[in-house]
Chain A
């Protein structure tokens, strides 16, 4: 069955393979249970502390907890696709896949499809942790949080494309980026604060990131001002631009991988 250029049988085969990986590697559950819970505890406690200081503390409480829940949409979608690909390099499975009819877009779609399960688990843990530990109910923000989450989901996938491209080009040395790149994106994205809080030198970079605009739109909802559709539109637009750049970059790195015969690193 082929639709939108994808063979769904192949997409499902890849998704199923990664479901087995998670099922049979309990330590992989850390990414979708323990770390989300640690983040909830850390930022939730920080939120409580700040809110008890008075002033605009209650606003900060909402920023911190809604921010960490939505940040995990980026985190989980990015990590699921990046580590899904890394799994193929760790198990020297790349050549096995490259000699099948599987196309690159089908592979990414398969990993992303199963990544949705991990995303639901990871974000569910954070949202539930925020509710149980800090009485923060994300659903009170209403449906308006959904388009923000969709943009953040897409951004996570796009960041993963860059990570995969770098791993194809630089090999295992670039693996650390799967986790490390998010430590760069997070502070620049204004997950918990407006861009104005960043040092002036960092603001232009921050404004170029779709996540910055998505979180700005989300904070307006937290503030009770309703959705800032302009910010969300900007987030969507920059995501499309970033996705185009990510696809071009990945195609370039894949061509380099094939031209230089880097497959021998994994066979």
Chain B
């Protein structure tokens, strides 16, 4: 299978503090991968480097066969991104918001794609709402709809279901799995919900202190750490990084 994303020896430090320290990552077409790790492990910084938003200090990224940063625009035309912490564009109705992003992704007439994507995530009733009228969970849901409008070959999701009710999170998960199966979309997702990761992803990559400490199928990674499940493996890695003791120190966020 061809790689849709290939990162080699990514390094990033902020004011001398290492955030990402030599990360190698390859995601193949249709593969569903979780990027896991405690707060401050370097997940978001890694994702933003993979998308060309942050420039790495060292290393190389090839996205959709395009080398970044030169091929950023061409590569991102085939990538979708959503994050639980991102707001909707203000002063727009949901349909206007989705139309704008559909056009940014090259859809001259995005209407049918909007209807299909809203249906996929069971959110057609939100189409005419103003962004400011939505709950945080609904905004997150519409963010995911936005990221899937153009049928991306790679979907990158940063904490996609963090603010969703369990039933909505279930719809999102089902919608994502359906899309990945039907379109062969690859998935790269960060999450702190290990149950969700086990249900959604066939491979997990654990980061700790900016380094990959495990990479493989969930069961194999769990076995590597000698734990009962992914949750325990996560806590083990968090303990290794010290974040279970000192709490959520956001070393991956520049000051």
- The interface of chain A, by Cβ under 8 A from chain B, is 7, 9-10, 12-14, 16-17, 20-21, 24-25, 87, 90-93, 95-103, 255, 258-264, 267
Contacts and interface: CB of A to CB of B under 8 A. Distances in A.
B151 to A, nearest CB: 14
Contacts of B105: 100-101
Residues of A contacting B: mostly: helix
B36 to A, nearest CB: 20
A103 B51 contact: no
Contact of A95 (B86, B91, B100): B86
B252 to A, nearest CB: 9
Chain B interface size, as a band, is 35 or more
B199 to A, nearest CB: 25
A261 B69 CA distance: 15
Given A9-B106, A91-B87, 17 more contacts: A9-B103, A13-B100, A13-B104, A17-B92, A17-B100, A20-B96, A24-B91, A90-B90, A93-B90, A99-B156, A100-B101, A101-B105, A102-B73, A255-B55, A260-B14, A261-B48, A261-B253
Interface string B55-86: 10000000000000100011011010101011
Interface of B: 12, 14, 45, 48, 51-55, 69, 73-74, 76-77, 79, 81, 83, 85-87, 89-92, 96, 99-101, 103-106, 108, 156, 253-254
A101 B54 CA distance: 15
A90 B100 CA distance: 18
Given A99-B76, A263-B54, A91 B90 contact: yes
A12 B108 CA distance: 11
Contacts, number: 93
Contacts of B101: 13, 96, 100
A263 B104 contact: no
B91 A21 contact: yes
Nearest to A88: B89
A13 B96 CA distance: 10
Contacts of B91: 20-21, 24-25, 91
A43 to B, nearest CB: 33
